[in-house]
């Protein structure tokens, strides 16, 4: 009887030790998953920056070779304006997983690249990534359709290049935000 009691106590201590080890593994796993998520988010944001910069650089080269070219889906596809991983102009997808459009501005020589389907955090990150880099940036919450950025007057407002974080947060408050990036003096 005494041996049985001693054996059950040893099993009890082993179970407690095992639960402690499992708890430590669980905490480390949660930390690892969080770190992985942040790393992937940063990777995707960097990939998006590469896509946008390559698109705008391609447009600048095309403009320098032919200043009067028209920006149509056929031209975008034929001249490989968009990086291959973004797809064709009619079904463009950006690195954060949403749709995108590349169009000519209505009232200026401005090219507009709009990134759709962004979470609030992604919207804020994208605006911060492009603010002050020579590219105009305008965020907007819940755009009304695939060719607009809400009711934002982005064609004549160059002051949005340096927005405060409060203003960015107010404009990136929707569930499916869009960010409009524009390049001036083309077309």
Distance CA 165, CA 55 (A): 26
Tell me which of 7-16, 23-32, 68-77 is least confident.
Answer: 7-16
Q: What is the CATH number of the domain that holds 163?
A: 3.30.1690.10
Residue 174 CA from chain centroid, whole number: 15
In this prediction the pTM is 0.73
Residue 54: per-residue pLDDT: 92
Structural domain boundaries enclosing 86: 2-183
100-126: average pLDDT = 81
* CA–CA dist 127, 119 (Å, integer): 12
**What domain count does the chain have?**
1
Q: What is the pLDDT of residues 27-67, one digit of tens each?
A: 888 888 988 988 998 999 999 989 998 998 898 888 888 87
Rounded to an integer, what distance in angstroms lies between the CA atom of residue 47 and that of residue 153? 28
For residues 79-97, average pLDDT = 92
Does 149 have pLDDT greater than 60? no
Q: Is the dihedral of CA 161, 122, 100, 95 positive or negative?
A: positive
């Amino acid at each position: 009887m005494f041996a049985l009691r001693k054996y059950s106590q040893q099993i009890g201590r082993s179970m407690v030790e095992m639960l402690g080890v499992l708890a430590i593994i669980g905490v480390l796993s949660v930390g690892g998953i969080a770190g992985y998520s942040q790393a992937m988010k940063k990777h995707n944001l960097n990939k998006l920056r590469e896509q946008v910069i390559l698109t705008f650089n391609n447009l600048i080269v095309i403009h320098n070779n032919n200043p009067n070219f028209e920006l149509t889906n056929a031209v975008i596809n034929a001249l490989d304006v968009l990086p291959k991983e973004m797809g064709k102009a009619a079904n463009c997808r950006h690195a954060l997983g949403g749709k995108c459009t590349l169009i000519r501005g209505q009232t200026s020589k401005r090219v507009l690249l709009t990134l759709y389907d962004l979470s609030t955090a992604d919207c804020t990150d994208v605006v911060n990534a492009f603010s002050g880099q020579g590219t105009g940036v305008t965020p907007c919450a819940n755009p009304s359709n695939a060719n607009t950025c809400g009711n934002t007057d982005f064609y004549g407002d160059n002051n949005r290049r340096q927005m405060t974080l409060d203003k960015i947060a107010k404009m990136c408050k929707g569930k499916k935000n869009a960010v409009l990036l524009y390049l001036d003096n083309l077309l």
